[in-house]
């Protein structure tokens, strides 16, 4: 039976394929350090106790009917207060949209702004932008980035591609790299967008920015989150923000996300999300509205979560740097934010002990899964070519001990290559 052109074109998730290999090994009783999924092991990283208690109380109070399509007013007001408190962003509740996690808001942003054939510009690697372009019939322009710039896009790299574009999709801290924009780098991109919009004629669609800051509360060391509107207030009518509770509170399954931006755009997105039926469960919304305003509980939880994540990232980073110092062709970029570390495993063309030649990053990854019981995600799953031997390592699903023990297995497996 034939299916739609969209269904024929849309690609499945490379990460899910890798997870299938990992799950098959686990089914056979093998222990694999799974650093693939951008999720948290709830036994290691449970959601905040205060949030758990509020969710239970909401269900006990029978808060189980349909919520408003744009989210409970109490939650939208709490999000406004949270954004002002944490990022200095002044928002009205009508500029905020709640959904079941942040994905529906990303998709709604594409649907509200992008017509079939419109150009969407985004960096490679980045998460899922290519798939959202497929879903909306957009012309996808993936701009290659460089390890010298921590795989963050620069204004110089973006400039040749934004003439006539409709959407520039950015993320910081970036999934998959765990790296971030500096203030100067983002300012230069903001000025590029302002210049482009000033050049457009009356009635011409402007260039918008989708700014995904879902990891903004998870930054480390001296690194500080920055956003376009705080840096250039002139952009406030052209930026749609993506945010939510899934990462900063290890609450991926709680399904409460939020987006905000120009009210005229949010109004249209509200209708889109409503027709999707992609609203967050009412009890979780009631609970989140109360939790976000509990500053002591939020601060205490974030401090502990960030400490544990940073310990795991530092362990992984130090381990790969030591392997590099010992002569292995690997590398890693300093952890800055999110739950990811960018690692290089440059072994294309090498031969395994059983005589198999590793042709690309996918081969390298599956070799390590089988021989080191360690699973990463090659950047090819995020829009780069398979010849790019850089990988995402996500630490949310493994304990510090599992990560530490895995490093020795990786080193041993790499030394067996010829």
Q: Check residue 30 and give its pLDDT.
A: 87
Q: Check residue 12 and give its pLDDT.
A: 78
How far apart, in Å, are the Cα atoms of 205 and each of 38, 74, 118, 136, 266?
34, 34, 10, 17, 17
Domains identified in the chain and CATH numbers? 5-45+299-415 (3.90.1150.10), 49-294 (3.40.640.10)
What SS3 class is residue 399? coil
pLDDT per residue as tens digits for the range 69-97: 999 999 999 999 999 999 999 999 999 99
Q: Check residue 27 and give its pLDDT.
A: 86
CB 237 within 8 A of CB 208: no
pLDDT per residue as tens digits for the range 168-181: 999 999 999 999 99
Q: Check residue 1 and give its pLDDT.
A: 60
Percent of the chain exceeding pLDDT 70 equals 100
Closest listed residue to residue 414, CA positions, set 336, 326, 332, 335: 326
Q: Check residue 20 and give its pLDDT.
A: 82
User: Which parts of 43-135 are beta strand (E)?
Assistant: 96-99, 119-124
Cis, bond preceding 173 (omega within 30 deg of 0): yes
Provide the residue-wise pLDDT of the chain in tens; the chain has 418 residues: 689 989 888 887 778 888 888 888 888 898 899 999 899 999 999 999 999 999 999 999 999 999 999 999 999 999 999 999 999 999 999 999 999 999 999 999 999 999 999 999 999 999 999 999 999 999 999 999 999 999 999 999 999 999 999 999 999 999 999 999 999 999 999 999 999 999 999 989 999 999 999 999 999 999 999 999 999 999 999 999 999 999 999 999 999 999 999 999 999 999 999 999 999 999 999 999 999 999 999 999 999 999 999 999 999 999 999 999 999 999 999 999 999 999 999 999 999 999 999 999 999 999 999 999 999 999 999 999 999 999 999 999 999 999 999 999 999 999 999 9
Give the DSSP per-residue string, 303-358: HHHHHHHHHHHHHHHHHHHHHHHTT-SEEEPPP-BTTEEEEEE--TT-B-TTS-B-
How far apart, in Å, are the Cα atoms of 379 and each of 100, 126, 176, 400, 414?
27, 9, 8, 24, 19
């Amino acid at each position: 039976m034939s299916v739609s052109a969209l269904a024929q074109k849309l690609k499945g998730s490379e990460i899910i394929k890798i997870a299938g290999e990992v799950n098959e090994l686990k089914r056979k009783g093998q222990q694999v350090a799974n650093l693939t999924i951008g999720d948290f092991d709830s036994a290691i990283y449970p959601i905040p106790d205060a949030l758990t208690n509020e969710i239970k109380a909401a269900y006990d109070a029978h808060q189980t009917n349909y919520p408003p399509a744009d989210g409970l007013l109490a939650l939208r007001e709490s999000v406004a207060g949270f954004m002002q408190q944490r990022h200095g962003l002044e928002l009205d509740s009508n500029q905020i949209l709640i959904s079941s996690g942040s994905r529906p808001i990303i998709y709604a942003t594409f649907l509200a702004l992008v017509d079939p054939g419109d150009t969407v510009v985004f960096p490679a690697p980045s998460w899922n932008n290519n798939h959202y372009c497929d879903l909306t019939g957009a012309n996808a322009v993936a701009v290659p980035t460089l390890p010298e710039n921590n795989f963050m896009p620069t204004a110089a790299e973006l400039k040749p591609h934004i003439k006539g574009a409709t959407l520039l999709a950015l993320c910081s801290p970036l999934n998959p790299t765990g790296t971030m924009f500096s203030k100067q780098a983002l300012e230069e991109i903001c000025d590029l967008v302002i210049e482009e919009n000033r050049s457009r004629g009356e009635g011409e669609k402007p260039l918008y920015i989708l700014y995904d800051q879902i990891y903004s509360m998870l930054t480390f060391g001296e690194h500080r989150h920055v956003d376009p509107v705080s840096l250039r207030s002139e952009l406030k009518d052209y930026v749609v923000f993506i945010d939510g509770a899934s990462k900063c509170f290890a609450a991926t399954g709680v399904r409460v996300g939020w987006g905000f931006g120009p009210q005229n755009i949010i109004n249209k997105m509200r209708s889109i999300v409503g027709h999707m039926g992609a609203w967050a469960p009412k009890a979780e919304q009631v609970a989140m509205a109360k939790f976000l305003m509990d500053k002591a509980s939020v601060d205490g939880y974030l401090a502990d979560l960030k400490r544990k994540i940073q310990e795991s990232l530092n362990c992984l980073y130090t381990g790969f740097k030591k392997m590099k110092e010992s002569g292995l062709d690997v590398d890693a970029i300093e952890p800055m934010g999110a739950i990811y570390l960018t690692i290089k495993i440059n072994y294309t063309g090498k031969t395994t002990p059983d005589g198999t030649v590793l042709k690309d990053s996918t081969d390298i990854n599956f070799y390590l899964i089988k021989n080191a019981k360690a699973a990463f995600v090659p950047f090819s799953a995020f829009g780069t070519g398979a010849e790019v031997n850089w990988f995402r390592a996500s630490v949310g699903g493994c304990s510090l001990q599992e990560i530490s023990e895995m490093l020795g297995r990786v080193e041993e497996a790499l030394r067996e290559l010829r």
